[in-house]
């Protein structure tokens, strides 16, 4: 780097000036007058006046300046001298400031450090240590920074914007940039980040660190209070600590705690008989989240005791959905893993006289349970005639069941519970039934399969579950759950029940969704109008938005009924912070700007999102497009956009456009507008509309606009069936839309294409739907999985609540 020539310096021998402030100016008034005429602001005069040492030093410095024929200075130099007066009055440094060799406070500091470190300071040496004459050009700054950032590319791709503050600090420390213009660092770093990893998105939502629980005795009130979450209040807050749930046989607890080390162990136990839906995301968060919040463990346990309803695809999809939501099962288990143990326990239950093989018909069982003609309970109850069989006979019969000697429905094992109990779950529940169906994991080994009531509590016990969390419809089952564990003398986990999450205005039942799919009302189980988690994912709703939504609802023991509009509004606020903005025209028309040349090109910069970091460039030129909806032949008070006689602004374009001529086809439809670019007068337009430059756009094969699938809030209550409540406009497909070319860049840097080495869960589980953007003034969109070489977009949600009403 070249040394700049500089003026010869006066020889200075003394380390500092005489700082007796009374020497030259006799009164304070005179001093202040002098300061002001020197160029000091009132504010600065005030600051200097208030500090005796500074006042003395500064007076001497001004004195010195005057002696050198300098009577006033610009604010920057005054600021430097003010800053100098805090530390020194060395004339060698004052000279450096006066003639501009010392330009920055950093240089000043280095110079002061130097003169203070020696008795005979030398000008050349001072200049050297304070970087005088070293110029780092803006181009050099850019190169140094981007070379440096490139060495850390992998780390930045993985940690993304979270690393930005650290990187900024590290760049400041680069030796090569010591004397460079620090004001450039941030814009250069920001631009490099944008070019390399794209604008901020859902990967940049900062996950709040879980705060360690405050120790009861030493509560530190200086620390901020713990963030409120679904785990810190309500149902989940009130749950017992591991080890605190009572046992009939307390000695079993010791072993349990030994295995779990006193941790929270939970499980999420789906039946693999369908896709998970929005309600399940609550169950997933409750189980996985509660365990993780307490540094415990959560199993994914497939409750596969009903081979008739299970299919391989459901296992895969359930696993993927859980991962997509960002949870990793500690272990994946299957109820069928325990079929041998369960069978043993069933024999044991028989042996202790607590189970019997029954041959009653379904009708007989209902009658025994006191079911009345109308299907309600409450009639007189009585025992099955098989209830009093001997243990030996029951064992023989049960083994016959096991060996396939009974047809389906001809024999089943029942628990011998308490017919006197008011709780129907104690009226001799079925434990095992004959099913002549091969099982996807155990093949045709078993002819009999255990029921939910027999299996669930025992597998919870085998797996040492500390909190068996389920929904309130199992409230009455708690008694039979505990009864069975106690009868078999196994550890009794604690079943606790929370309220379900229901979305109104849609159907969640598997049977109903299946009907919608098979009768082709929707594309498939993952149709974006449905509320299976597959569908929600495909529609482009980010997993973080779901977690956020569930968390704000909280968990109590009552059912939560949520309207779709409320769900969507929660999604919308999440997307607002995590998606870049692009311009897309759903229904473009051509605009020709009359008063500019063919090669006219004005580059305008448009931010990708709020905040200073991220913007891209678009060219305003002679041929552009606007949305047909933004033009009308006539305007009135409420219409702010383009019309003859009413100019309009184009987003970020300096001047308005106004209509000159309307070109129509033979049907009278507008095909093109010839407009004037009003660059001779700056007039504030009523509004700004979005636009695209011709030749810098991509065409979109389909934009799929989704509205609610059903008209009413309760489709299932429709008098002629839920299918008759379907909204015929639930999907609208637009085929002429255009989007700006920058979409390619957004796509290239989306989670679909930049993998962060597993740091973000969407990496593993995310697909095309992770290519998301906000179409300015139109809505939030994502790429659909059907999109191959051509673009197909789904509308995730509208920008505002009412626009689809
Ligand atoms: P559905 O009958 O709606 O298909 P399910 O309860 O039969 O659901 P499972 O596979 O047994 O489906 O559910 C796994 C877990 O998810 C269970 O613990 C269940 O309680 C819970 N769960 C199911 N639906 C909801 C819901 N709407 N809200 C909260 N938790 C739910
Ligand atoms: Mg179930």
Instruction: Indicate if 582-695 has the same CATH topology as 510-580+700-797.
Output: yes
Percent of the chain with pLDDT over 70: 92
**Which pLDDT band holds residue 373 (cuts at 50, 70, 90)?**
confident
Atom from ligand 1 closest to the CA of residue 469: 18
**Looking at residue 2, what is its pLDDT?**
37
For residue 22, is pLDDT > 70? no
Do you know the residue count of the chain? 805
Determine which residue's CA is closest to atom 10 belonging to ligand 1: 270
Decide whether any atom of ligand 1 lies within 6 Å of the 641 Cβ. Answer: no
Q: What is the mean pLDDT of residues 616-624?
A: 96
Ligand 1 near 529 CB (within 6 A):
no
pLDDT at 394 over 50: yes
Higher per-residue pLDDT: 462 or 311: 462
When the candidates are 3.40.50.620, 1.10.3720.10, 2.40.240.10, 3.30.390.50, the CATH number that belongs to 582-695 is 2.40.240.10
Architecture of domain 138-197: Orthogonal Bundle (1.10)
Distance of CA 300 from the midpoint of ligand 1 (Å): 14
Per the CB < 8 A criterion, the answer to whether 325 and 287 are in contact is no
Does the beta carbon of 795 lie inside 6 Å of ligand 1?
no
332, 302 in Cβ contact below 8 A?
yes
- Average pLDDT value over all residues in the chain: 90
Mutating to test ligand 1, I would choose from 280, 285, 305 the residue with most ligand atoms within 8 A of its C-beta, which is 280
CATH code that applies to domain 28-129: 1.10.8.1290
Mutate to test the pocket of ligand 1, among 451, 471, 507 (most ligand atoms within 8 A of CB): 471
Closest CA to 604 of 565, 557, 638, 651: 651
CA–CA distance, 266 with 332 (Å, rounded to integer): 12
Query: Strands, DSSP E only, in 583-696?
Result: 584-585, 588-593, 601-607, 615-621, 623-627, 649-650, 657-664, 670-677, 688-689, 691-693
Ligand 1 atom closest to residue 510's alpha carbon, by position in its atom list: 4
Residue 12 pLDDT class (50, 70, 90 cuts): very low
SS3 for 113-136, per residue?
HHHHCCCCCCHHHHHHHCCCCCCC
Does ligand 1 come within 6 angstroms of the Cβ of 501?
yes
Cα 445 from Cα 438, distance rounded (Å): 8
Question: Where does the pLDDT of residue 377 fall: very low under 50, low under 70, confident under 90, or very high at 90 and above?
Answer: confident
Query: What ligand has the least distance to the C-alpha of 501?
Result: 1
β-strands 738-740, 584-585 pairing: antiparallel
Q: Which CATH architecture has domain 338-453?
A: Alpha-Beta Complex (3.90)
Integer Cα distance of 408 and 581 in angstroms: 60
Q: Is the distance from CB of 74 to CB of 50 less than 8 angstroms? A: no
Q: Ligand 1 pocket, 329 CB below 6 A?
A: no
Note whether 600 and 752 are within 8 A (CB): no
Is the Cβ atom of 510 under 6 angstroms away from ligand 1? Answer: yes
| E strand map for 397-462 | 412-415, 430-434, 448-450
Q: Would you say residue 215 has pLDDT above 60?
A: no
Ligand nearest the Cα atom of residue 283: 1
Per-residue model confidence (pLDDT) at position 801: 82
Minimum-distance ligand to the CA of 300? Answer: 1
Tell me the pLDDT band of 221, cut-offs 50, 70 and 90. very low
Architecture of the domain defined by 510-580+700-797: Beta Barrel (2.40)
Q: Residue with the nearest Cα to atom 22 of ligand 1?
A: 280
Pick 136 or 702 by higher pLDDT: 702
Q: Does the Cβ of 472 fall within 6 Å of ligand 1?
A: no
Give residue 268 CA to ligand 1 midpoint distance, Å: 10
Q: Is the CB of 528 under 6 A from ligand 1?
A: no
For residue 762, pLDDT over 60 is answered with no
530 lines ligand 1 (CB under 6 A): no
500, 538, 622, 749: which is the annotated catalytic residue? 500
* Nearest bound ligand to the CA of residue 274: 1
Rounded CA gap, 537 and 166, in Å? 33
Ligand 2 center from residue 471 Cα (angstroms):
10
Instruction: Name the one residue in this structure whose structure tokens are 């896709």.
Output: 275
Q: Is 622 a catalytic residue?
A: no
Please tell me the residue having the least CA distance from ligand 1 atom 18: 470
Residue 207 pLDDT: 59
Is the CB–ligand 1 distance for residue 508 below 6 Å?
Answer: yes
Q: What's the pLDDT at 277?
A: 96
From the CA of 174, how far away is ligand 2's center (Å)? 60
**Across residues 726-747, what is the average pLDDT?**
96
Q: Report the C-alpha gap between 372 and 381 in whole angstroms.
A: 10
| Cα–Cα–Cα angle for 525, 528, 530, rounded to 5 degrees | 60
Closest residue by Cα to residue 94 from 106, 71, 78: 78
Which residue carries 């309500």 as its tokens? 234
DSSP code string of 558-606: SPEEEEHHHHHHHHHHHHHHH--EE-EESSEEEEEETTS-TT-EEEEEE
The residue contributing the CA closest to ligand 1 atom 1 is 509
- φ/ψ region of 406 (left if φ > 0, alpha if ψ in -120 to 50, else beta) reads beta
**Banded model confidence at residue 225, pLDDT cuts 50, 70, 90:** low
Q: Does residue 15 have a pLDDT over 80?
A: no
What confidence category does residue 777 fall into, taking pLDDT thresholds of 50, 70 and 90? confident
Phi-psi region of 610 (alpha: psi -120 to 50; beta: other; left: phi over 0): beta
Contact 498, 283 (CB under 8 A): no
Give the Å distance between the CA of 275 and the centre of ligand 2: 12
Ligand 2 centroid vs 97 CA: distance in angstroms?
A: 79
Q: Which of 510, 515, 632, 686 is catalytic?
A: 510
Note the pLDDT of residue 754: 79
**Is residue 529 annotated as part of the catalytic site, yes or no?**
no
Residue pair 367/337 in contact (Cβ under 8 Å)? The answer is no
Distance 537 CA to ligand 2 centre (A): 22
Q: Give the Å distance between the CA of 452 and the centre of ligand 2.
A: 9
pLDDT number for residue 765: 58
Q: Which of 166, 149, 160 is nearest to 206 (CA)?
A: 160
CA distance 280 to 456: 18
b/e map 458-468, b = 16+ CB within 10 Å: bbbbbbbbbbb
Residue 219 has pLDDT above 50, yes or no: no
Overall average pLDDT of the 221-237 stretch:
78
Distances (CA, A) of 100 to 45, 62, 68, 74, 103: 23, 16, 15, 11, 6
pLDDT at 133: 85
Looking at residue 349, what is its pLDDT? 98
Neighbour tally for 702: CB within 10 Å: 17
Answer yes or no: is pLDDT of 384 > 60: yes
Domain ranges of the chain: 28-129, 138-197, 338-453, 510-580+700-797, 582-695
510 is catalytic: yes
Is residue 283 in contact with ligand 1, taking CB distance under 6 Å? yes
Please check whether residue 742 is in contact with residue 767, taking contact to mean a CB–CB distance below 8 angstroms.
no
């Amino acid at each position: 780097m070249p040394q700049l020539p500089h003026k010869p310096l006066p020889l200075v021998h003394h380390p500092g000036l005489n700082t007796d402030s009374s020497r030259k100016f006799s009164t304070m008034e005179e001093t202040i007058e002098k300061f002001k005429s020197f160029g000091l602001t009132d504010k600065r005069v005030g600051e200097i006046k208030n500090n005796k040492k500074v006042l003395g030093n500064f007076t001497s410095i001004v004195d010195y300046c005057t002696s050198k024929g300098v009577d006033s200075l610009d604010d920057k130099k005054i600021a430097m001298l003010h800053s100098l007066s805090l530390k020194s009055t060395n004339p060698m440094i004052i000279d450096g400031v006066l003639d501009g060799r010392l330009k920055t406070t950093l240089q000043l500091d280095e110079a002061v450090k130097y003169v203070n470190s020696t008795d005979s300071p030398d000008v050349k040496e001072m200049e050297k240590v304070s970087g005088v004459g070293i110029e780092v050009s803006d181009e050099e700054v850019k190169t140094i920074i981007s070379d440096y950032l490139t060495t850390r590319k992998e780390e930045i791709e993985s940690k993304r914007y979270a690393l930005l503050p650290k990187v900024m600090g590290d760049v400041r420390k680069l030796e090569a940039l010591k004397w460079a213009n620090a004001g450039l660092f941030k814009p250069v770093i920001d631009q490099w980040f944008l070019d390399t990893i794209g604008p901020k998105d859902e990967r940049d939502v900062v996950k709040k660190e879980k705060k360690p629980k405050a120790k009861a005795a030493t509560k530190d009130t200086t620390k901020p209070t713990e963030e409120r979450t679904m785990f810190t209040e309500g149902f989940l807050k009130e749950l017992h600590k591991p080890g605190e749930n009572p046992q009939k046989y307390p000695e079993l607890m010791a072993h349990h705690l030994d295995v779990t080390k006193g941790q929270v162990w939970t499980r999420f136990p789906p039946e693999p008989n369908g896709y998970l839906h929005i309600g399940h995301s609550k169950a997933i968060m409750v189980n996985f989240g509660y365990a993780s919040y307490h540094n415990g463990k959560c199993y994914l346990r497939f409750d596969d005791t009903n081979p008739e309803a299970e299919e391989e695809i459901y296992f895969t999809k359930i696993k993927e959905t859980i991962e997509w939501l960002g949870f990793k099962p500690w272990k994946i288990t299957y109820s069928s893993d325990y079929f041998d143990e369960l069978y043993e326990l069933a024999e044991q239950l028989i042996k202790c006289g607590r189970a019997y093989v029954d041959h009653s018909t379904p009708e007989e069982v209902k009658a025994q349970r006191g079911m009345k003609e109308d299907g309600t309970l409450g009639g007189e109850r009585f025992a099955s005639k098989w209830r009093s069989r001997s243990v030996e006979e029951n064992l023989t019969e049960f083994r016959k069941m096991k060996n396939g000697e009974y047809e389906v429905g001809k024999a089943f094992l029942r628990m011998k519970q308490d017919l006197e109990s008011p709780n129907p779950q104690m009226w001799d529940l079925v434990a095992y039934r004959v099913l002549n169906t091969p099982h996807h994991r155990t093949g045709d080994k078993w002819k009999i399969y255990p029921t939910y009531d027999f299996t669930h509590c025992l597998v919870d016990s085998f797996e040492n579950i500390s909190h068996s969390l389920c929904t309130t419809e199992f409230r009455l089952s708690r008694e039979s759950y505990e009864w069975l564990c106690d009868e078999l003398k196994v550890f009794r986990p604690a079943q606790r029940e929370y309220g379900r999450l229901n979305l109104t205005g849609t159907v969640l039942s598997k049977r109903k969704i299946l009907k919608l799919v098979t009768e082709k009302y929707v594309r498939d189980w993952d149709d974006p109008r449905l509320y299976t988690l597959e569908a929600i994912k495909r529609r482009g709703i980010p997993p973080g938005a779901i977690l956020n939504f569930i968390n704000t609802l909280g968990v109590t023991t009552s059912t939560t009924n949520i309207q779709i509009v409320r769900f969507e509004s929660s999604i919308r606020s999440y997307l607002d912070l995590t998606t870049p903005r692009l311009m897309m025209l759903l229904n473009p028309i051509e605009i020709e700007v009359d008063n500019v040349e063919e090669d006219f090109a004005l580059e305008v910069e448009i931010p990708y999102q709020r905040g200073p970091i991220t913007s891209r460039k678009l060219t305003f030129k002679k041929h552009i497009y606007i949305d047909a909806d933004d033009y009308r032949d006539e305007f009135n008070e409420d219409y702010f956009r383009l019309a003859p006689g009413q100019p309009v602004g184009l987003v970020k374009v300096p001047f308005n456009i106004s209509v000159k001529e309307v070109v129509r086809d033979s049907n009278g439809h507008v095909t093109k507008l010839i407009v004037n670019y009003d660059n001779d007068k700056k007039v504030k337009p009523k509004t700004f509309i979005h636009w695209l430059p011709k030749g810098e756009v991509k065409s979109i094969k389909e934009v799929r606009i989704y509205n609610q699938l059903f008209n009413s809030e309760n489709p299932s209550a429709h008098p002629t069936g839920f299918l008759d409540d379907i909204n015929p406009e639930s999907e609208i497909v637009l085929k002429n839309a255009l989007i700006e070319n920058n979409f390619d860049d957004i796509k290239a840097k989306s989670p679909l294409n930049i993998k962060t080495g597993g740091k973000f869960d969407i990496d593993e589980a995310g697909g095309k739907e992770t290519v998301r953007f906000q179409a300015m003034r139109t809505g939030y969109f994502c790429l659909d999985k059907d999109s191959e070489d051509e673009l197909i977009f789904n509308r995730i949600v509208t920008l505002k609540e009412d626009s689809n009403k």
